[in-house]
């Protein structure tokens, strides 16, 4: 698709994370293939490793500009990667082009994800995020080995400067959009964020601190003491506040070394919040009509039906401080409530023309639906399957020795800290 656009004269530019080895369940070979094929068609795609050690460029966005036709300008951002397994829909039957995942997800893993389409002046803001990275004068990698390998493969891309940025499109609606970002503090720095940027974390901390009725979360990960403290503080302060989180029932990888670190920190956070606010927090996984678990890759949060985000960032320290992230926050009651209702209808198995639960009823409605479906499974699946996708999350217990090594691996590898040292010591974002 991108190659065809370049061949017909479209100026196609791409910054794609170089990634780690495929043998570590990453995608360096596939990303290099995309770079090579699009460039052969006339595009300019660059493999970008200007990240902290062990980090990634995790931003996922596409900007479309149309000189002379600004009404067609748009930007897409959220959690959806340009790779296999992502092409699914609300039926959640999975992508025919599958990504290898844990066995529990079957031969065609179902996938739940979110992307937002932005029009109007904020398109220019998303384009600026790209331009800052494109214009960064540092080399795409600090590794001489990678430089040599690129030359041997003739992968070196000769880029040209971007054309002047077009004026922002005119407003197309009443929704105020704010972009939130994460960049780490790294050796050499980013010219546009020399000490990194943590507006994703700051935006969440500010919004969670003002929550009074309902925090609704859909996320791939729910880790980190920083995240736990933010939620716990809000729940203690507001006795009417409830928290609902839709998460993967199982990690995407089920290896002996990969699965426990994914679960050890999540289980601890869930236990902590249930102790802080018993009866006011709930954690659910989802499954399709065939009973296959759906992998939740969405990254969204709706607070009190007034503030909502869709982005690339997860609720963990890695996304708040270490990797590059991009999220769109919208403070608009109609948008936030509509987003929550769309998601709730899907998880409850309701038709698009049926009403979703309102803000006050969602917690109890989800609990009743999940209890019915769980009871049907526990009872041997006798009778008609209850509607909906929701199942309570029940992480399997781990031995003390497993918790010790998995916890250490989680802290060192899975959830690193990308803040400057002074902010780490002061526990500030």
pLDDT tens per residue, range 194-212: 999 999 999 999 999 999 9
Q: CA distances (Å), 27 to each of 32, 318, 347, in order?
A: 9, 19, 31
Domains 2-79+114-153 and 189-426 share a fold: yes
- Residue 114's nearest CA partner among 175, 42, 194, 60 is 60
Q: Of the segments 35-39, 119-123, 249-253, which one has the largest average pLDDT value?
A: 119-123
Residue 28 has pLDDT above 80, yes or no: no
**Is 391 within 8 Å of 291 (Cβ atoms)?**
no
Q: What pLDDT does residue 145 have?
A: 72
Average pLDDT for the chain: 93
pLDDT digits (tens, 9 = 90+) for 169-187: 999 999 999 999 999 999 8
pLDDT digits 0-9 by tens, 46-74: 999 999 988 999 999 999 999 999 999 99
Which residues have CB under 8 Å from 426's CB, separation 6+? none
pLDDT of 148 reads 67
**Average of per-residue pLDDT across 279-306:** 98
Name the 3-class secondary structure at 159: coil
pLDDT for res 104: 96
The whole-model pTM stands at: 0.94
pLDDT band at 100 (very low <50, low <70, confident <90, very high): confident
User: By C-alpha distance, which of 196, 182, 192 is closest to 320?
Assistant: 182
- Give the pLDDT score at 34: 87
Percent of the chain with pLDDT over 90: 84
State phi, psi for 132 to the nearest 5 degrees. -60, -45
With contact defined as beta carbons under 8 Å apart, do 223 and 265 qualify? Answer: yes
Is it the case that residue 22 has pLDDT exceeding 60?
Answer: no
Q: What CATH number labels 2-79+114-153?
A: 3.30.870.10
Percentage of residues in the chain having pLDDT higher than 70:
95
pLDDT for residue 24: 52
Q: How far apart are CA 238 and CA 337, in angstroms?
A: 20
Token pair 């880790």 is found at: 223
Region 189-426: CATH code: 3.30.870.10
Q: Is pLDDT of 306 > 90?
A: yes
Q: Is residue 157 scored above 90 in pLDDT?
A: no
Note the Cα 230 to chain centre separation in Å: 19
Q: How much is the pLDDT for 26?
A: 57
Is the confidence at residue 25, as pLDDT, over 60?
Answer: no
> For 23-27, 81-85, 262-266, which range has the lowest pLDDT when averaged over its residues?
23-27
Segment 115-123 mean pLDDT: 97
Instruction: Kindly list the domain boundaries of the chain, sorted by start residue.
Output: 2-79+114-153, 189-426
| CA-CA-CA-CA torsion sign (323, 256, 291, 368) | negative
CB 121 within 8 A of CB 168: yes
Of residues 21 and 31, more confidence is placed in: 31
Strand 300-303 and strand 307-311: pairing? antiparallel
Which segments of 73-113 are extended strands (E)?
A: 74-78, 111-112
Q: How far, in Å, CA of 211 to CA of 214, rounded?
A: 7
């Amino acid at each position: 698709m991108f190659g065809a656009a370049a061949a017909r004269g479209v100026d196609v530019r791409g910054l794609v994370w170089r990634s780690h080895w495929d043998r570590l369940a990453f995608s360096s070979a596939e990303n290099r293939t995309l770079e090579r094929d699009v460039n052969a068609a006339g595009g300019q795609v660059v493999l970008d490793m200007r990240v902290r050690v062990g980090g990634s460029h995790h931003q996922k966005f596409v900007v479309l500009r149309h000189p002379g036709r600004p009404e067609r300008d748009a930007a897409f951002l959220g959690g959806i990667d340009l790779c296999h397994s992502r092409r699914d829909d609300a039926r959640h039957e999975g992508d025919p082009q599958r990504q290898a995942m844990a066995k529990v997800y079957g031969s065609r893993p179902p996938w739940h994800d979110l992307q937002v389409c932005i029009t109007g002046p904020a398109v220019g803001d998303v384009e600026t995020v790209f331009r800052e990275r494109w214009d960064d004068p540092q080399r795409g990698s600090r590794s001489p080995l990678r430089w040599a390998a690129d030359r041997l493969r003739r992968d070196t891309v000769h880029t040209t400067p971007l054309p002047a940025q077009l004026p922002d499109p005119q407003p197309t609606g009443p929704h105020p959009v704010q972009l939130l970002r994460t960049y780490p503090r790294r050796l050499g720095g980013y010219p546009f964020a020399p000490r990194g940027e943590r507006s994703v974390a700051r935006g969440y901390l500010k919004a969670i601190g003002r929550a009074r009725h309902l925090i609704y979360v859909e996320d791939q990960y729910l880790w980190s003491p920083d995240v736990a403290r933010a939620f716990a503080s809000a729940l203690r302060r507001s006795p009417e506040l409830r928290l609902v989180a839709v998460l993967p029932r199982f990690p995407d990888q089920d290896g002996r070394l990969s699965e426990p670190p994914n679960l050890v920190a999540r289980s601890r956070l869930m236990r902590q919040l249930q102790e802080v606010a018993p009866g006011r927090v709930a954690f659910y996984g989802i499954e399709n009509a065939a009973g296959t678990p759906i992998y939740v890759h969405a990254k969204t949060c709706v607070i009190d039906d007034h503030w909502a985000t869709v982005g690339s960032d997860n609720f963990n320290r890695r996304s708040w401080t270490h990797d590059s992230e991009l999220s769109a926050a919208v403070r608009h009651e109609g948008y936030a409530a509509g987003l929550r209702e769309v998601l709730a209808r899907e998880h409850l198995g309701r038709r698009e023309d049926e009403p979703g639960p309102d803000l006050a009823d969602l917690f109890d409605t989800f609990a009743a639906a999940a209890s019915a479906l769980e009871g049907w499974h526990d009872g041997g699946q006798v009778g008609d399957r209850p509607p909906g996708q929701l199942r309570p999350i029940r992480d399997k217990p781990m031995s003390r020795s497993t918790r010790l090594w998995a916890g250490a691996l989680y802290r060192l590898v899975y959830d690193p800290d990308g803040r400057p040292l002074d902010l780490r010591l002061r526990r500030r974002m």
